[in-house]
Structure 1
């Protein structure tokens, strides 16, 4: 029975499946064909995936072997300063010989019969490494005259007045005590019982003194400062309350004054702390944004100077100046490590063959046979750059090393330092740079901090302030004249602001003002351009539109809004109203600008903004050319100029190029070219020996137009600008002199802000008037400007804009032109009418 059921069920099932297969055969063949087609179409994707895997494997292979043992982090121990610059430091008592600590004597060896455990226990423990002695107490005196706002004295006038000065604490200082010495003069008309001077530091009171000095008497007060009150950023606040009588004081009385003298000072007693070097902290300690002195970058000159070393050094110097946030950087060259001093920050750029001193430094990666080796002792590939930090001069000087086994690798290592996106990946004592990202070049007219390019209608919110933040609603208060609100209005260096530009100020003010005397004024670079009275005693919001004079707008212009808020009650005897007076400038205030992209070359005054060398801002259109065998003076000028350009630009990379005279490519000639060198052996003689302008001749000769002179011991530096002979939209800048002393003067022009701000015309001659000039006295340098070379106008406007500008500039000719055009049309019409009338006369 079971077999019959089995056979009965099996046979019908078999026949059914065969018939089903016959019906589904075409569908199955179709599915197989579609699968083959899909597989063929996926072959390119599979190949691409395979290539991606191979690239990832190559990336893994490029992870080179690191040193097997990690050396301890190098530590810099900055030298101490003397306790007092005026007096020798007091001698510290030394411990007597009897009390000096001595290392414990090693215990005697145990007897041979002692148990093994006792022998092991009796073995002497290794002596601990001796700890370095504590650094000596140092002293730093910071005088108020270091601040440019002090001048001859800090003036405080009126019943209530305040002055502020800021200073920083260097990062490696441990301050143990501090003092603030205030020297001042006061008006003899002050009433001593109601007049006083109060000094605060970081909003903490240090003390008050009465203003009771007699005429011509100098006040001298010393305030003790708790050490824990000194922070990274500090503000000294000096406030005076001044009265001329016991009952009533006129707030407009000119005898209400006190002067803080510039020889007032802050005295800091500190101990310099050791600094552990780590690329994570870069640029510290090579650049310290909290430093009180100028950073000192020292470059070790290689055995042979080539174009790649000049390019790498110039790019690093430009990037370092960007990181310094406007703080000065002193730069010098040394040939040997024994020329260093304790304040230097050494930078070594080059291959081990170019920098033999690398072999004598304690570096994470070994150097042998002028090659950098990996952890397995094999030379690194030529395309790999190496960054390392170490110390020199007995640990007093930090050293930054950018090297590799080929100049291309060295340049790659430096490029990783100048690009913020790559720099943030650095850490530890060393880094191998396999590849750096290619940063796109910004638009030549994209200048951060300036007016946005091509925009004719702007809001104040579209502008950036000095801290690179968008302008926001700003409120000031004070009685009756609060501080002015400053608004950047920096036009692009290659444009002109034309007539018809307007500024609409939207503002609000507090209630309680006197409309008869209160007002708001708009000021452009110190000149008033408009304003109005405040209308309502109850306060409110209003607006005013003023015309912007085109001749006043420059690449360094600043708009200022000044409120005058007099209360509706009279100020009697110094009594203040019970509510504050305030004014607000709103960020929706608007600018309507009529702009033209026109510039005249050459113009050294525009070089004060970096133009045209900093267009674009990554300096990719700036090329330097030096003599075939550059001197130290030539290299220092390259570093000073590139550093100045770095301060004047903001970008995510630095791409300037530097070349020797015999290797300047044609592509670089199409850029803005800066030629550096003495007159004899100048890399581009056509830049200084053209027929027009000042020409330096043989044997200290000078020629200007038809005038020729021969001077003796010409030690002046010369800066000459002209339109590039290879590209009439670019600049050829010559930096030259007759003697090396003249090249030093050129360095000072680009290193000192006061001298750099005096550039003008197309030629500048600079020479010192005293053997030891001071950076604070402009009279120590004589600067002569000349404008002798022909100018070229670079006009990128359209034809309609050019025609409109021509008519605006020559509107006097417009009536005559209209009359001539009318006469011409009248003559043509008469001629046409006469031709029409001739057939009628014949008929």
Structure 2
């Protein structure tokens, strides 16, 4: 009893001491915690719970109004640009969930190389548990591991959505920045459970980082490439203007297209657009393509005698840079473009002359760097950029996720599953419990495994003796992922869930003592899936650029456009090529650019057709069986009876409507655009994708729809029609198959969609076998009866 009384007195003294320390911390941190006011005349009362951030000399405050209407802490200086990024735009689409006595999470943002920060603030939208003790609980905010703010909790604001503006010191900002939020939470003066459900604070994904920046003039140096045209610290979509000194020839379009695939590849997850201008410079960083005969007016450039790359300032605005790709003719431009995309590591100075260049040999099929290899097992270590991505900490950590991009034409029909050799390590529970590790793909559950306790062996007849153990338990499982759950874009996740153990009511559990990891030498093997798919399938095209990206260098692709393309057609071509580079992760240089009259060169090529009237005329010339042909005023729609399987390969057009007219010919002045897929009339098993529109705006609207994640999901089948914000998909034409499988698999696959025919064939086969057996038995009986 004396011991229990002493322990109680000790806890009370400790609580008083913690209260005193917390009060001193708040007093010394420079934060003003508003107290209830009496509303003295001449001074507006400060809202309850308002926090003034350190460094805000003007006394700027933020209201806890859930609407988020707050004043900027520091007025933007003249000549600055303000940029606002939400946590959702920075990758935290679900916000931040802080749990436990020291729950922590972070969000990253960047500052472009060509900008300097004049002022910045963090507009935090958050809610915390009403069960937290105000005097012991707070939210700590770190910027690049420097403590910049401590937000106190009040009883009256518990459970309410709050908004706080915290000034960010520009001196602490760099190219890459991390904002880390740490919840210091307590719900009891006595014994606490570090994983108690009342210990929480939620940060809204609509929290914002607002920066006011001024342009910074960079030196003219090719070594800074790909900056400032692409800055890896800028997570926004890219817009890289292409400027030509004269309407470009098809050869010049090819040179610019090579650069577009490179820009799309380095942009990775960012969407990339390439606005086109002729003879005029935009008010942005731009890439200029000129020859000695097509100089850009207003740009003082000397004539060259070899392919040349040059970095220079825009004469209208020195803070803007121009990357000039220059040559004597179009052939020189192609050489200079290839030097830019393949030899960037050797570039330096304000100009460089290319005396000789030998391109890399052709690539093989399905070897795109961003695609998982399908000819051998792949180690998990090959699928991540940072080994730390395969590790987690905490009893309920965030899932470990792997991105798996696959060729769209993998045949998953009647496959037993994708084998995975899974090796993982974890801090073992002190005793058997319900701790587990679950495997999911595309948020669909696959398997779950119980985590063994310390010293527990799977083989009960043997004793587990660990030598040189690091305190973790290692395990290995053979897992088969159902093939029907696999798509062309996949997210493979591993969720560890561990139960904390306490020996007594007042014993503490360290929230981050549990560690877990997936070993980098774990493997997944897609080599058992053959390449065979039903076409046309526009979801393949908008998802990964297939079939054009089957070869990452686009070796079997031809771009077909008008002889004299306008800027909208050019932007559509370059943006589509940029998407191809984004899908494969590498530049492409082996595609051809042709006009609609060069049909003799269409053979053995997959064709991407972009344009208006010229393309429409060629489609009309090819015949009546195309799903839709669009001219400026005429629309011709044709449907054919066909039996689409829609289940043979990943991402197949399950929702494409087969309903349409047998034939319709109409005239309209309204805007309309379409994405059409069909088999090439020039070569069997070759694909054609045509982007056809009645106007330039409608043509660019197709690019907008493909870039939009929500609208892209609506594109499938062999026809997608776009009118304003509406997109509808159909399957109207005949289908064909691409790929290569064994003759036996091919027969079984095609017969599986005709069960009645299979039944009839089986009956005929049984009847034939019965007749054969009957004849044999008759002859045998006759021999026995012979004397």
**Is 2:252 the partner of 1:309?**
yes
Alignment of 1:552-563 (within 5 A): 552-563=485-496
1:576 alignment partner, SS class: coil
CA distance in 2, matches of 1:356, 1:791: 48
Is the 1:762–1:789 Cα contact (8 Å) retained in structure 2?
yes
Q: Report the CA distance shift for 1:683/1:288 in structure 2 as closer, same or farther (over 3 A).
A: farther
Tell me the CA shift for residue 167 of structure 1: 0.7
Do 1:625 and 1:683's aligned partners in 2 also have CA atoms closer than 8 Å?
no
Q: Which residue of 1 aligns with 2:307?
A: 385
- The corresponding residue for 1:68 is none
Aligned counterpart, 2:545: 610
Cα drift, residue 792 of structure 1: 0.9
* CA distance in structure 2 between the partners assigned to 1:702 and 1:499 by the alignment: 41
**Maintained 8 Å contact 1:503/1:590:** yes
Q: Does 1:796 align with 2:740?
A: yes
Q: TM-score, normalised by structure 2?
A: 0.77
Give CA-to-partner distance per residue, 1:441-475, whole Å, 9 cap, x none: 111122323332333xx2535x62243x7x79943
Task: Give, in angstroms, the shift of residue 310 of structure 1.
Answer: 1.4
Structure number with larger C-alpha Rg? 1
Matched with 1:483 is: 398
Q: How many residues align?
A: 674
Q: CA deviation at 1:652?
A: 6.0
Q: From the superposition, tell whether residues 187 and 700 of structure 1 become closer, same or farther in structure 2 (CA, over 3 Å).
A: farther
Q: Partner of 2:321 in structure 1?
A: 398
Instruction: Check the 8 A contact 2:265/2:587 in 1, yes or no.
Output: no
Aligned positions of 1:144-183 closer than 5 A: 144-145=86-87, 147=89, 149-151=91-93, 154-157=96-99, 159-175=101-117, 178-183=120-125
1:353 aligns with 2:261: no
Using a 3 Å threshold, how does the CA distance of structure 1 residues 667 and 504 change in structure 2: closer, same or farther? same
Contact 2:607 2:687 in 1 (8 A): yes
CA contact (8 A) 1:680 1:738 kept: no
Distance 1:819 1:190, change over 3 A: same
- The residue number in structure 1 matching 2:30 is none
Question: Does the CA-based 8 Å contact 1:621-1:671 persist in structure 2?
Answer: yes
How far apart in 2 are the matches of 1:222 and 1:210? 14
* Residue 223 of structure 2 corresponds to residue 280 of structure 1: yes
Hey, what does 1:492 align to over in structure 2?
407
Corresponding position of 1:465: 383
Aligned to 1:507: 424
User: CA–CA distance in 1 between the matches of 2:254 and 2:125?
Assistant: 50
Q: Partners of 1:701 and 1:507 in 2: how far apart?
A: 58
Residue 609 of structure 1, CA deviation: 1.3
Offset from partner CA, 1:482-508 (integer Å, 9 cap, x none): 222223444322212352233342323
Q: CA deviation at 1:270?
A: 5.0
Aligned match of 1:749? 705
Give the superposition deviation at 1:361.
2.5
CA distance in 2, matches of 1:640, 1:495: 26
User: Structure 1 719/811 Cα, relative in aligned 2: closer, same or farther at 3 Å?
Assistant: closer
200-209 vs 676-685, which moves further = 676-685
Structure 2 CA distance, aligned partners of 1:356 and 1:682? 33
SS at match of 1:605: helix
Who is 2:589 aligned against? Answer: 654
Q: Which residue of 1 aligns with 2:338?
A: 415
Alpha-carbon RMSD: 3.7
C-alpha displacement at 1:198, in angstroms? 1.1
Inter-partner Cα distance in structure 2 for 1:580 and 1:812:
61
The answer on whether the counterparts of 1:750 and 1:756 sit within 8 Å (CA) in structure 2 is yes
2:716 and 2:292 map into 1 onto residues whose CA distance is 44
Deviation at 1:431, TM superposition (A): 2.4
Counterpart of 1:693? 627
Deviation at residue 746 of structure 1 after TM alignment: 1.3
Cα shift at 1:385: 1.7
Give the drift of 1:209.
1.4
CA deviation after TM superposition for structure 1 residue 440, in Å: 1.0
More deviation, 324-333/739-748: 324-333
SS of residue in 1 equivalent to 2:293: coil
Q: Which residue of 2 aligns with 1:230?
A: 173
- Residue by residue over 1:77-117, the C-alpha shift from the partner in whole angstroms, topping out at 9 and shown as x without a partner, is xxxxxxxx99999899xxxxxxxxxxxxxxxxxxxxxxxxx
1:787 aligned to 2:731?
yes
Match of 2:31 in 1: none
Question: C-alpha separation between the residues in 2 aligned to 1:472 and 1:222?
Answer: 32
**TM-score, scaled to structure 1:** 0.72
Q: Does 1:832 align with 2:776?
A: yes
Tell me if structure 2 keeps the 8 A contact 1:472–1:586: no
Contact 2:194 2:509 in 1 (8 A): no
Q: Are the counterparts in 2 of residues 449 and 464 from structure 1 also a CA contact under 8 Å?
A: no
Q: Which of these residues, 320, 324, 333, is aligned with residue 263 of structure 2? A: 320
Select which of 517, 522, 525 maps to 2:442: 525
Residue 841 of structure 1 and its aligned partner are, at CA, apart by 5.8
Kindly indicate whether the alpha-carbon contact (under 8 Å) linking 1:277 and 1:389 is maintained by their aligned counterparts in 2. yes
1:518, distance to aligned residue in structure 2 (A): 0.9
- Alpha carbons 2:82, 2:210 under 8 Å: kept: yes
Task: Kindly indicate whether the alpha-carbon contact (under 8 Å) linking 1:161 and 1:241 is maintained by their aligned counterparts in 2.
Answer: yes
What's the offset of the Cα at 1:478? 0.7
Q: Which runs of 5+ in 2 are unaligned?
A: 1-69, 456-471, 638-659
Structure 2 contact 279–296 (Cα < 8 Å) conserved: no
What secondary structure does 2:346 align onto?
coil
C-alpha change, 1:666 and 1:254, in structure 2 (3 Å) is farther
Deviates more, 1:554-563 or 1:755-764: 755-764
Distance, in Å, in 2 between the alignment partners of 1:477 and 1:652 is 38
Conservation of the 8 A alpha-carbon contact between 1:242 and 1:257: yes
SS of 1:427's equivalent?
coil
Question: Which residue is equivalent to 1:633?
Answer: 568
CA drift at 1:268: 3.9
CA contact (8 A) 1:716 1:745 kept: no
1:133 corresponding residue in structure 2: none
